[in-house]
Homo-oligomer: A and B are copies of this chain.
Amino acid sequence: MSASKVTPWEVQGNIDYEKIIKEFGVSKIDQKLLERLEKHAKKKNKPLHHLLRRNIFFAHRDLKFILDEYEKGNKFFLYTGRAPSGHTHIGHLVPWMLTKWLQEVFDVELWFQFPDEEKFLFKEDLTLEDTEKFTQENMLDVIALGFDPKKTFFLVDTKHADLMYKEALKVSKKITFSTAKSAFGFTNDQNLGAIFYTAMQAVPSFLPCVIHKKKIPCLIPHAIDQDPHFRVSRDVIPKIGHHKPASIQCRFLPGLAGMQSDGKMSSSLDHTTIYTTDDPKTIKKKINKYAFSGGQSTVEEHRKKGGNPQVDTSYIWLTFFEEDDKKLEKIYQDYKSGKLLSGEIKAILIEKLTSLLQEHQKKREKARRNIDTFIFKKT
């Protein structure tokens, strides 16, 4: 296993999720929690989400507290986000898919942050004009997923700073540079904005309480690399009068070249990334050319020995995007037995993603006229 590194700005190597659970101090999502979630889903005639069934959302902090409160009649709100620096890729969709399911099952508000300063501060060449452009583009993808426009509120850090900066100050006063240094690996060469940024990321986890003038629990679905932010802010937020935000955390969707070489999918590795705006030809070309295969070198050998779905990117991606358990199970068995060839499993993935993204792109275009509806406005 190669050495791995997980910070909000870097995910490298083959991730050992058991190790992360220990290191980060998060808890596994156990059977009991899954059953409680399933019980609530049933009331809305929904199955447990496949990202939960398949342990892709694998860890949490205080999810029990969220469900306890909910069952006492005290609804939570959801908070997730996207730091704009490029086009949305399908890895970004993963936490949002579960977020949408949670909004539907629990009928709760979603506060969606677009921290348009984050990548500007951490990437030398990125300008605020770049991040502004991508904020608009990324919003389309979020809207296309079908969040409830009456219960979904977009926050853009630079635009909503008149609400957010004041709250970030309260958080920032309680975090020293030493703490940020150890949580994020900062050095003295870090710029001042980057040092302050984590305080801004903390704000949406309690801003709705300030706006609604009410203590409301917060649940944050996010990829595990964002945990250091909340690890720091969870210590601080109760000191300024709000609930510790709870969270539910997912694994990374690997890049096409597989976890060993790519870590999580990244926009900086263009060819092994599928964007939500990719056309069918591009999807086909990228998958056929770059998807790491768990198959054998020849058809004969593959028929005899079978493939290894556990390292095959096409199979791994299907676990994220093919909702039907039976279909997936059949693909797994057929690939493992050698009945399904590498080219064939790629074709299944290509078909799945093409239809998913063509549908998404239609909704994405329609979303252009609805952006303003979703942006939070003070009344």
| A interface, CB within 8 angstroms of B | 117, 120-121, 128, 157-162, 164-166, 168-170, 172-178, 180-181, 186-196, 198-199
| Interchain CB contact under 8 A, A199 and B189 | no
Min CB–CB distance A363 → chain B (angstroms): 30
The residues of B that contact A158 with a CB separation of less than 8 Å are: 162, 165-166, 169
Which of A117, A161, A188, A192 has the most CB atoms of chain B within a 10 A radius of its CB?
A192
The 3 A-B residue pairs with the shortest CB-CB distance, nearest first, are A172-B193, A196-B196, A161-B165
| Interchain CB contact under 8 A, A169 and B120 | yes
Q: How far is the CA of A176 from the CA of B186 in the complex (A)?
A: 11
A-B contact pairs, 27 of them (CB 8 A): A117-B165, A121-B173, A128-B169, A157-B165, A159-B162, A160-B162, A161-B161, A161-B162, A161-B166, A165-B165, A169-B193, A172-B191, A172-B193, A172-B196, A173-B193, A176-B188, A176-B189, A176-B190, A176-B191, A176-B192, A177-B186, A177-B195, A178-B189, A192-B195, A195-B195, A195-B196, A196-B196
| Interchain CB contact under 8 A, B172 and A121 | yes
The residues of B that contact A159 with a CB separation of less than 8 Å are: 162
The residues of B that contact A162 with a CB separation of less than 8 Å are: 158-162
When A161-B165, A162-B160, A162-B161 are in contact, do A173 and B195 touch as well, CB less than 8 Å? no
Q: How far is the CA of A111 from the CA of B196 in the complex (A)?
A: 26
Min CB–CB distance A204 → chain B (angstroms): 15
Q: How far is the CA of A272 from the CA of B173 in the complex (A)?
A: 30
The residues of B that contact A161 with a CB separation of less than 8 Å are: 161-162, 164-166
Q: How far is the CA of A194 from the CA of B186 in the complex (A)?
A: 17
The residues of B that contact A157 with a CB separation of less than 8 Å are: 165
Q: How far is the CA of A178 from the CA of B188 in the complex (A)?
A: 5
Q: How far is the CA of A176 from the CA of B169 in the complex (A)?
A: 19
Min CB–CB distance A213 → chain B (angstroms): 15
Min CB–CB distance A67 → chain B (angstroms): 33
Q: Which of B173, B193, B195 contacts A168 (CB 8 A)?
A: B193
Q: How far is the CA of A230 from the CA of B152 in the complex (A)?
A: 42
When A161-B161, A196-B196 are in contact, do A191 and B166 touch as well, CB less than 8 Å? no
The residues of B that contact A174 with a CB separation of less than 8 Å are: 191
Min CB–CB distance A195 → chain B (angstroms): 5
The residues of B that contact A198 with a CB separation of less than 8 Å are: 192
Min CB–CB distance A307 → chain B (angstroms): 48
Q: How far is the CA of A175 from the CA of B192 in the complex (A)?
A: 6
Q: Chain B residue with minimal CB distance to A162?
A: B162
The residues of B that contact A120 with a CB separation of less than 8 Å are: 169, 173
| Interchain CB contact under 8 A, B196 and A192 | yes
Min CB–CB distance A157 → chain B (angstroms): 7
The residues of B that contact A188 with a CB separation of less than 8 Å are: 176-178, 181
The residues of B that contact A180 with a CB separation of less than 8 Å are: 192
Q: How far is the CA of A140 from the CA of B169 in the complex (A)?
A: 25
The residues of B that contact A173 with a CB separation of less than 8 Å are: 120-121, 191, 193-194
Q: How far is the CA of A170 from the CA of B191 in the complex (A)?
A: 10
Min CB–CB distance A211 → chain B (angstroms): 16
Q: How far is the CA of A191 from the CA of B168 in the complex (A)?
A: 12
The residues of B that contact A169 with a CB separation of less than 8 Å are: 117, 120-121, 128, 158, 193
Min CB–CB distance A266 → chain B (angstroms): 22
Q: How far is the CA of A177 from the CA of B128 in the complex (A)?
A: 21
The residues of B that contact A187 with a CB separation of less than 8 Å are: 177
Q: Which of B128, B160, B189, B199 contacts A192 (CB 8 A)?
A: B199
